[in-house]
Amino acid sequence: MKHRLYTLIFPMDIYRNRVLLGMKKRGFGQNKLNGFGGKVEADESVAQGASRELCEESGLSPTEEPEKCGLLLFYFENDPVAMEVHVFITRSFAGQPQETDEMRPEWFDIREMPFEHMWADDPSWWPYVLDGKLFVGRFWFKADMVTITRQELAQVGS
Ligand SMILES: CN1CCN(c2cc(NC3CC3)nc(N)n2)CC1
């Protein structure tokens, strides 16, 4: 099974219990709230790719290496290529959130996540992010990209 590599990064404001999410304005996941991310370029590490995408999509630039949170593998009916999404958070960043062509950023209280506007898998793994527990999640989606037919989630570290 071929895996294509992606990043997903969440800026956390721990003092105010907030996470920055972006409303995707076009392309894959349009009209959903999510972290920031995209494909990893050939000349960068996954963490560097996550930082680059955050900056391009929100105007925030991490001032330290983003923290690894977990790994998400997505399999889609009738699609031979799986998505391998490396999930990060960053607690130290410079700049103010700004709307870009891709994303309209907004802060959300981490205890009131807007899951009804997020991908269907998010509620399954988001608790691990909040607990600082490393995770691996695998999700099998129907072709409609909405129905999860099977999922496996495991904590793999502290
Ligand atoms: C570059 N992006 C980052 C975000 N990403 C996804 C996917 C996802 N579920 C999969 C069924 C689609 N769930 C979240 N939360 N993010 C896709 C690739």
Backbone φ and ψ for 72, nearest 5 degrees, come out as -120, 130
pLDDT for position 157: 82
Query: Distance from first CA to last CA of the chain, Å, rounded?
Result: 29
pLDDT for position 69: 98
User: Tell me: the pLDDT tens digits for 83-114?
Assistant: 999 999 999 999 999 999 999 999 999 999 99
pLDDT for position 54: 98
Q: Which of 55, 71, 45 is nearest to 11 (CA)?
A: 55
Residue 36 has pLDDT above 90, yes or no: yes
Confidence tier at 158 by pLDDT (50, 70, 90): confident
The model's pTM is: 0.97
The reply to whether ligand 1 has any atom less than 6 angstroms from the CB of 125 is no
The reply to whether ligand 1 has any atom less than 6 angstroms from the CB of 37 is yes
User: Tell me: the pLDDT tens digits for 116-155?
Assistant: 999 999 999 999 999 999 999 999 999 999 999 999 999 9
**Mean pLDDT within 46-75:** 98
Q: In this structure, which residue's CA is closest to atom 14 in ligand 1?
A: 119
Q: In this structure, which residue's CA is closest to atom 10 in ligand 1?
A: 74
The reply to whether ligand 1 has any atom less than 6 angstroms from the CB of 102 is no
* String of DSSP letters for the chain: -EEEEEEEEEEEEGGGTEEEEEEE-SSTTTT-EE-B--BPPTTS-HHHHHHHHHHHHHS-EESSPPEEEEEEEEEETTEEEEEEEEEEEES-EES-----SSEEEEEEETTS--GGGS-TTHHHHHHHHHHT--EEEEEEE-TTSS-EEEEEEEE---
The reply to whether ligand 1 has any atom less than 6 angstroms from the CB of 6 is yes
Average pLDDT, the chain: 97
